[in-house]
Amino acid sequence: MGIRFIHIKRNNFNAGEVKFMNYESRIKYIISFIVVFTFLTAISVLAVNDQVKTSEFFVGDSDVQITNQTVSKTFSIYIGDSLTGVTNPVKSTYFTVSGVYIGNGTLTFKIDNDAATEKIFTLPNVGTTPTPFEIIYKDDSNKINPTSAGSYNYTLNIIVPSGITISGLGAKITTTHRYAPATCPDGQPSNEKIKTAEFFVASFDSQISSATSSQFSIYIGDNLAGVTNPVKSAYFTVSGVYTGNGTLQLKIDSDDATAKTYTLPDVSATPTPFEIIYKDDSNKINPTSAGSYTYTLYITPSGVTISGLGAKVTISHRYKPPTCGGGFPATGELTSIVFDTGTEGAAYNSAYWKGTLGGSPPNQGKVKFKLATSDSSGGPWTYYGSDGTSCGASFWYDPGGADTPIEISCAPQYHNNQRYFRYKIQICSSSDCSTSGAYTPTVEDVVVSWSP
């Protein structure tokens, strides 16, 4: 939270100078000093340069063994940020493709069957020994290169020759893009934003060879109101080391519609690492409002024993960012410099402020003040206010609005006959001065009336 304190008036005062910063003010028997005091929104701290964000999206998986065929997986990515004025917003895009293979051959990747995107990766001869692999594929032609917010659909083509067989094929895409920052924290652009989050699902320190399960929770704290299909991608990464020859079935909440069974090729007694990217095609995980959601991942090995089994879930969701200006701090305070009335017998009468409250019409929020006086320019300073009936350091004067003088009722008890004074002013973004509000009152002028 910040405040601005600006003085913009200068005159002479022949009855005694009242200095405010480097300027002076004159009104006979009235001290008038000008300030601009307002909340600073987060726009004042936003970087001038564009910001950057990384998101992950599920591309595809297969629970059947693949050989001598082309696998085509259509997928979507979503950009919800403003890319206006950003040159070459996509800074990095790559695929991670993994599985377990046997044989000797190549894997060919391309996007949308575009030959310009093609890359061929050689997999060394492993014979009949199942061997895990992970390939990071980047299209050098930059086929995936959005220049504005929205959804974009592509197809990843994976050509698997007859010389190799792949089990547990899975793919995901990671994109990193620059974007034009909004004019307030996480601000409200015309498009919705997107966020990627990972949650722990399971970890087993014992060997698993029969059905087991793990309950887990995900949390969405963003506003999803009015967002159609907010979950754009949700997939599990399941990994470990296995021996044997069999399958691994994954499903959510005992729902057979979510079940997929992955073949783990025969490795006999040779411990072999694996990683499976599992996506429930029925979209069981599909929250439509903020909150905590609990699910259970069921894991059923058959014919294999797994050590170090672990799982996580990665979710990318769209959301509505908060409205600009909707979260100012509850209060902001400013303490003035010391003012000299020039007389030991000053009597403090009233005070009022000029400016505006917030909102439309501008009558929201609140402005309050306290006064402190002393016989010495060095203090001590104790600030007093009043609730209308009592005076005390815990109270504030509340004029109720601009241009409304309020009596300094604590003056006879605490202030009169003291030469020096200073004030403390408080602005509130809400009318109760205790909760964060959406309004930013502005104080332009404060007038304190005193007599010698």
DSSP string, 157-169: EEEE-TTEEEEEE
Below-50 pLDDT ranges, the chain: 1-49, 325
Half-sphere exposure of 60 (CA within 13 A, CB side): 14
Beta pairing, strands 119-123 & 105-111: antiparallel
Burial (CB < 10 A; 0-12, 13-18, 19+), residue 416, is middle
For 364-407, write each residue's pLDDT tens digit.
788 999 999 999 999 999 999 999 899 999 899 999 888 999 99
Cα→Cα distances 311→205, 364, 370, 394, Å: 13, 51, 59, 55
H-helix or E-strand spanning residue 51:
strand 51-61
Strand partners, 334: 425
| Domains of the chain: residue spans and CATH | 19-41+325-451 (2.60.120), 51-319 (no CATH)
Strand partners, 292: 219
| 3-state SS, one letter per residue, for 304-343 | EEEEEEEEEEEEEEEEECCCCCCCCCCEEEEECCCEECCC
In the prediction, which pLDDT does 349 show? 93
Confidence (pTM): 0.61
State how far the Cα of 167 lies from the Cα of 240, in Å rounded to an integer. 15
Cα→Cα distances 269→34, 50, 205, 386, 450, Å: 84, 53, 19, 83, 95
In the prediction, which pLDDT does 182 show? 65
Beta pairing, strands 291-319 & 193-203: antiparallel
The whole-angstrom distance between residue 279's C-alpha and the CA centroid of its chain comes to 26
DSSP string, 214-243: EEEEEEE-SB-TT-SS-EEEEEEEEEEEEE
Instruction: Of 237, 333, 393, 320, give the one whose Cα is nearest residue 39.
Output: 333
Is the distance from CB of 216 to CB of 296 less than 8 angstroms?
yes
For 403-420, write each residue's pLDDT tens digit.
999 999 999 999 999 999
In the prediction, which pLDDT does 189 show? 59
For 61-115, write each residue's pLDDT tens digit.
999 999 999 999 999 999 988 888 888 899 999 999 999 999 999 999 999 999 9
In the prediction, which pLDDT does 429 show? 81
115 φ/ψ angles, rounded to the nearest 5 degrees: -60, -25
* List of E strands, 161-192: 164-179
In the prediction, which pLDDT does 22 show? 27
In the prediction, which pLDDT does 187 show? 59
In the prediction, which pLDDT does 25 show? 28
